[in-house]
A and B are shown apart, each in its own frame.
Chain A
């Protein structure tokens, strides 16, 4: 997550691999202002003389500290980082990368470097030391901070949610993407101003942890030392922070995968992959998270799992396929269900890796391990490994297929794999009006290719029965509304 701190030996895996090659972000700025009488004490606090321009050498470039103003009532120190992006790319080259990582202001890089700049240049201030005037470091003082460009995934609102609980007055102003195209709206950067009366060490710790958390970019190499750093810098404030979970989750985001970089690379090729989190958002956690968010709580998700699990059980199946198993929410239940064989199939290798980890496959005793299999596969290709099962589940899967491709998936499931029971769940589009936050006509998730009304779903189901010789039974899942039905609809096909 962070570039190496000067004290640490630089290891290749610690270096952000990619950054803006020509970048604007090679110039980062943070100003720190002390107001009130004795403002010039800031010089003591920071160990930097207000009348000098000082330069520091860092592993990734250089830092400059100078004071644009030094009045008795108001003294401002500026920390300016100049990063050598070309050198960094060279050092980090070799892994998978996407065009975006080069040209784009990799915001995490920006924020991470700024964090490292703070820890490098203001080391003793961050540690709460001030030899000439120890009482200054121990006193809460009226500070102001300005960071003209802060990448903030979650926008100004999240900036406030993270910083206000720490006692700051927060001014976060979104920066528009391009003044020439106002219709494009705002970028994900904000101009940040903070004001608060705190100890300097606290202030710097807050910035050190929260600037990278705000950008929330992907971090391919996170190791245990990051946890240790977070514990140290978060001491005294993180445990009580209302957004503690989000902070920890974002700070320690893992992305270890052999395949994910390659897939991300492919998606980026189309220039549509601008949402570089398509990989996990649409296939793994993201789906659940985004939908759960919309659907108000995880309640519906649990109801869906309950309903599907019960339907599998009622079918009397011994051998079960979970087609589009994602990170394994249903699998986790099924492996406790005493089935002879449970097979999870997903098109996303990343989802399967997550599932394997969550199911703790490598820890299962042989006898249990033999009953669970994870397979990489796609509904759009016929897969002989899927023949001979009693039941198959397609839980919230079909709506992720382009409608023209559905016929092939249908043939592969009902025609080729041909299990005795097929359980399909999908959103009921009629119910969408019950969510005021969802714009009319919009889908619940951006990877949904369609959402069907009950009538559309049942028309499809009838065609499946006719073509493949199944009978079908429809059931609602979730709260049932008289007019629009339930949020999720389920079909249980049997033959």
Chain B
């Protein structure tokens, strides 16, 4: 006997004790595919025959089976299963996971079972047990199909068992071996003329008979169903579709209308509504054989198809991820009708659940069913029903090109119940669209994120937990957060007596990685600012999905908006936009938007609170404390006490405090308005034409310079030196430049390899930049007296490893976020990366680094 089993499915072995179920299982399945009740009894009670443990054992069995089916994995249950009540939970389990239950019955003569049991020392039950089981089994066989087993195989003799040939077939819906390219065509509804025109536009030749179609070389059509009803020429459409499918030039899934027609043709009592009457009238003019052919064709269609190596799924009303690659009545229902809330809207139509909004699958889903004005990708799904029969358009999606091709309806064949387009296109319709929503599950818990630049990055649960709070309380709309900047590691610690950091170590680091040229960029002492700027509100809406009228965003390294006031925000954006226009950046980069990496000055504009409450406070306390100490010591000295050296040290320290105050005061200037701010761009991160991580820093700085030239008063140039590391004179010049800059109060510089990304000879990503901070600036970080011999020696042993690791991972994540955005991946995929940068920043690292 040939036993062909769907894979995946739940196979239930049925047979009395001693009927050979376990042997059968061993012969035909992997040991891990078979879950036996005896084994589970052993798990819970250490005794495979402990009948008292039966209930617990079955709980374990169902649990294991459930976890396997959830994956889904092919699973076999080895238990007697002779009673209906023991099979019922298994059928339910399969249903719950939307897989087919299959029964294999070992209906061997009772004598065989009795004989086998007598030979087994561990079976000490009497012969009546097997007698009862055999009787129960016989009673069951006839009803197995009715119980829900989709296929039932019965083996009655030892020979049959021995000769049984077990094979497995993938589910009907799994057609992943069918490779594209495809042309996916939306709901036709009897619009034959439009279909012919659309096929023509797609390069298919339709013969004069109206149904013989020759596709362009290598292409095939895929119909998303609803061929029938409402339109003027349902039979012609069916004739064409059937001919194409038969010829192997098309694939098709059924629509709800098609299924209803099948039921009607099969003699079922269905309500004649929603255009079915037109179809029946048109079919009445056709020969009965054609009508029967139609019925058979539509009846034979599989509710959804997985195509192209598993990358593409086609179903009439879509398919949520949980149901894909599975088979059950509710999967079929979903494919035909989608998911509804059970409520009815104001037009009397069922309220649909927005499954696509929460779709997180990697497989693209193409569907129809619900007419939309314009097909839009939502989380890797697209509805291509553009309501041809209602006077809209008939649309095709070219796959894998993802291009849309459509033709206009020649007339409105059927009045829609609900207007296809919102009544007032510019009115409240836009605002009424539900806002874009991300799932907590998109960011919560432990996460592993694949990045293009480096291997996967792991985010621990406590990191994501911390970031959820910060992201939701302070960050701006995630649609703008297409990037968060990485932290930057300082250079390896200098061994010079009066230095903690010096360019030499940064140069040596890159030279050691094989870098020939580096660029030293002035480090502005301000606040990191990411500027996302769109050419206009339309770009903001089309590309970022933001319809509030904002034309971009300016945000901090943790995603907080810089300006609470929307007008101020727009004013900044207007300045940047004007500079970008005048520099020709939008045109050059073929884009309507830019992401710029910048520093916003002064530091006090954003960090005023920090400066006041931390740095100024240290200065105030220090000054007051040391003044008091000095005067006390002077008094003591006057009394002749031995406090001379103490007094000297105190006076010297007072000098440190003064320098400390000077250090922060350099970065403070009053900001009354926009004109007092300065923006210093240093990276042009991304635009429509790509992520510019593949351009070197000369390219970036050149474009930034052009921006600055367009508005030199408000935008600030980033000074730089390009240095050939092999040229000692160039290196010395760069060090001198750094010395001069930092002596004058500058924060320091960032040393970057000329290329935006650099790998060492083993292929590992290297630091994208290393900061070398000036001695006076470090006073703010390490304290007024950090250069004192007693302190600096110990400060030198600082551990950079963690910081460097973080910097690399965050860099990779930031670029990944941009890559995903540029590739128009769903928002949740972009947000995942930006969020991960923030989550990593919760890592405890010495914040002075």
**A378 and B440 contacting across the interface, CB-CB below 8 Å:** yes
A148 to B650 Cα, complex, angstroms: 15
Q: Does A328 contact B (CB under 8 A)?
A: no
Contact of B657 among A24, A84, A379, A416 (CB under 8 A): A24
The residues of A that contact B785 with a CB separation of less than 8 Å are 22-23
Interface assignment of B820: CB less than 8 Å from any CB of chain A? no
Return the chain A residue nearest B797 by Cβ: A90
A22, A52, A149: the one contacting B791 at CB < 8 Å is: A22
Say yes or no for A197: interface residue by CB 8 A criterion. no
Helix, strand, loop or mixed for chain B's interface? helix
The yes or no answer to A120 lying at the interface (CB within 8 A) is: no
Q: In terms of DSSP, what is the predominant structure of the interface of chain A?
A: mixed
B834 interfacial contact with A, CB 8 Å: no
Residues of A close to B606: CB separation below 8 A: 270-272
* CB-nearest residue of chain A to B786: A22
Chain B residues 408-437 with CB under 8 Å of chain A are 432, 434-437
- Interface residue B579 (Cβ < 8 Å from any Cβ of A): no
- Residue of A at shortest CB range from B650? A27
Are B639 and A69 in contact, CB atoms less than 8 angstroms apart? yes
Taking CB atoms, residues of chain A closer than 8 Å to B616 are: 177-178, 181, 184, 187
Chain A 63-86 interface mask (CB, 8 Å, partner B; 1/0): 010111110000000101000111
Asked whether B462 is an interface residue with its Cβ less than 8 Å from the other chain, the reply is: yes
Query: Are B468 and A270 closer than 8 Å at their CB atoms?
Result: no
> What separation, in Å, do the CA atoms of A181 and B668 have in the docked complex?
10
A93 to B794, CA, bound (A): 14
Chain B residues with Cβ below 8 Å from A70 are: 639
Q: Which residues of the partner chain A approach B767 to less than 8 Å between Cβ atoms?
A: none
Report how many residues on chain A are interfacial, defined by Cβ distance under 8 Å: 96
- Cα distance, A255 to B560, chains bound together (Å): 26
- B350 proximal to A (CB < 8 A): no
9-residue interface stretch from A37-45, A260-268, A297-305, A306-314: A260-268
Asked if residues B847 and A378 are in contact (CB atoms below 8 Å), the reply is no
Stretch of A99-107, A216-224, A355-363, A388-396 contacting B (4+ beta carbons < 8 Å): A99-107
A259 at the interface (CB under 8 A from B): yes
User: Which of B476, B614, B622, B632 has a CB less than 8 Å from the CB of A68?
Assistant: B632
Please tell me if the beta carbons of A68 and B635 are within 8 angstroms of each other in the complex.
yes
A262: chain B residues within 8 A (beta carbon): 462-463, 465-466, 842-844
The chain A residue sitting closest to B629, CB to CB, is A29
Given A28-B625, A382-B439, A78 and B783 touching (CB < 8 A)? no
CB distance from B139 to the nearest CB of A (A): 41
CA distance A23 to B785 in the complex (A): 7
Please determine whether A105 and B782 come into contact, CB atoms closer than 8 angstroms: no
The reply to whether A347 and B468 form a contact with Cβ atoms under 8 Å apart is: yes
Rounded to whole Å, the gap between the CB of A215 and the closest CB of chain B is: 11
B641 touches A51 (CB 8 A): yes
B453-481 contacts to A, CB under 8 A, are 462-463, 465-474, 476-477
B653 beta carbon closer than 8 Å to chain A: yes
Number of interface residues of B (CB under 8 A): 91
Given contacts A21-B848, A29-B628, A187-B620, contact A64 B558 (CB under 8 A): no
> Is A245 part of the contact surface with B, judged by Cβ < 8 Å?
no
Q: Is residue A138 contacting chain B, with contact meaning CB distance below 8 A?
A: no
Contact with B along A321-357 (1 / 0, CB 8 A): 0000000000000000000000000011100000000
Scan residues 617-671 of chain B and give those whose CB is less than 8 A from a CB of chain A: 617-622, 624-629, 632-633, 635-636, 639, 641-643, 646, 650, 653, 657, 661, 665, 668
Tell me whether A383 and B440 are in contact (CB under 8 A). yes
A91-126 Cβ-contact flags toward B at 8 Å (1 or 0): 001111111111111000010000000000000000
Minimal Cβ-Cβ distance residue in A for B559: A270
A376 at the interface (CB under 8 A from B): yes
Choose among A20, A27, A93, A271 the residue with the greatest number of B CB atoms under 10 Å from its CB: A271
In the assembly, what is the distance between CA of A175 and CA of B624, in Å?
8
Q: Do the beta carbons of A266 and B848 come within 8 Å of each other?
A: no
Chain A residues within an 8 Å CB radius of B469 = 263, 266, 347-349, 378
For the complex, what is the distance from the CA of A272 to the CA of B603, rounded to whole Å?
11
Q: Is A494 an interface residue (CB 8 A)?
A: no
Contact yes or no, A274 B621, CB < 8 A: no
Known contacts A187-B616, A381-B438, A53 near B641 by CB under 8 Å: yes
Q: Which residue of B lies closest to A104 (CB)?
A: B614
Q: Which residues in B have their C-beta under 8 angstroms from that of A178?
A: 616, 619-620, 661, 665
Across-interface contacts of A400 in B (CB, < 8 A): 473
A8 to B791, CA, bound (A): 27
Q: Does B112 contact A (CB under 8 A)?
A: no
With both chains docked as a complex, state the minimum distance between the C-beta of A83 and any C-beta of chain B, in angstroms. Answer: 12
* B441 contacts A by Cβ under 8 Å: yes
| A180 interface contact, C-beta 8 A | yes
Given contacts A22-B785, A259-B462, is CB(A265)–CB(B844) below 8 Å?
Answer: yes
Known A349-B469, A381-B472; contact A105-B548, beta-carbon cutoff 8 A: no
Which of these, B438, B619, B842, contacts A266 with CB under 8 Å?
B842
Q: With A and B bound together, what is the CA distance between A262 and B612 in angstroms? A: 23
Asked whether, in the complex, the Cβ of A382 is within 8 Å of the Cβ of B791, the reply is no
CA distance A258 to B627 in the complex (A): 41
Determine how close the nearest CB of chain A comes to the CB of B344; give it in whole angstroms.
Answer: 11
Q: Is A87 an interface residue (CB 8 A)?
A: yes
In angstroms, Cα B784 to Cα A104, docked, is: 11
Inside 8 A of B742's CB, which chain A residues have their CB?
Answer: none
User: In whole angstroms, how far apart are the Cα atoms of A51 and B439 in the complex?
Assistant: 73
Q: Which of A203-211, A405-413, A421-429, A484-492 contacts B (4 or more CB under 8 A)?
A: A405-413
Contact of A189 among B434, B624, B629, B642 (CB under 8 A): B624
Answer whether residue B760 sits at the interface, using C-beta atoms and an 8 A cutoff. no
Residue of B nearest to A51 (CB): B641
Flag whether B841 is at the interface (Cβ < 8 A). yes
Contacts of A283 in B (CB 8 A): 473
Identify which of B435, B650, B842 contacts A407 (C-beta below 8 A). B435
B625 touches A149 (CB 8 A): yes
**Residue B358 at the A interface, CB < 8 A?**
yes
On whether the beta carbons of B847 and A97 are closer than 8 Å, the reply is yes
Question: How far is it, in angstroms, between the C-alpha of A26 and the C-alpha of B653 when the chains are bound?
Answer: 11
Closest Cβ of chain A: how far from B362's Cβ, in Å? 20
Q: Is the CB of A408 within 8 A of B435?
A: yes
Whether A275 sits at the interface, judged by CB under 8 Å, is yes
Least distance between A360 CB and chain B CB atoms (Å) = 23
Closest to A173 in B: B624
Q: Do A274 and B462 contact each other (CB < 8 Å), given the known contacts A265-B842, A349-B469, A408-B437?
A: no
List the B side residues contacting A467 at CB < 8 Å.
432
Cα A267 to Cα B122 in complex, Å, equals 66
Any chain B CB within 8 A of the CB of A415?
Answer: yes
Distance of A95 Cα from B468 Cα, bound (Å): 21
Query: Which of chain A's residues 168-212 have a Cβ closer than 8 Å to chain B?
Result: 175-178, 180-181, 184, 187-189, 191
- Please name all residues of chain A whose beta carbon is closer than 8 Å to the beta carbon of B462 when the two chains form the complex: 258-259, 262
Residue on A nearest B665 in the bound complex, by CB: A180
Closest to A400 in B: B473
CB <8 Å contact, A376 and B468? yes
Instruction: Give the contacting residue for B610; candidates A97, A188, A271, A407; CB below 8 A.
Output: A271
Given A27-B626, A272-B607, are A103 and B440 neighbors across the interface (CB < 8 Å)?
no
Determine if B442 is an interface residue (Cβ-Cβ < 8 Å). yes
Q: Is the CB of B548 within 8 A of A177?
A: no
Bound-state CA distance A27–B657 (Å) is 13
Q: Which residues of B sit under 8 angstroms from A101, Cβ to Cβ?
A: 847
State whether B791 touches A416 (Cβ < 8 A). no
Say yes or no: is A377 at the interface (Cβ < 8 Å to chain B): yes
In the complex, besides A68-B635, A149-B621, 20 extra interface pairs with C-beta distance below 8 angstroms are A21-B783, A24-B653, A25-B622, A80-B646, A102-B848, A103-B618, A105-B617, A148-B629, A178-B661, A189-B621, A262-B465, A262-B466, A265-B842, A267-B470, A270-B557, A282-B473, A283-B473, A378-B440, A378-B468, A383-B440
Shortest beta-carbon contacts, A-B, top 9: A22-B783, A24-B622, A148-B628, A68-B635, A378-B472, A274-B609, A271-B607, A99-B847, A262-B466
Q: Can you list 15 pairs linking A and B with CB atoms under 8 Å apart?
A: A21-B786, A21-B791, A22-B788, A25-B622, A31-B632, A102-B781, A151-B621, A180-B665, A187-B616, A187-B617, A265-B844, A274-B612, A381-B437, A384-B441, A415-B434
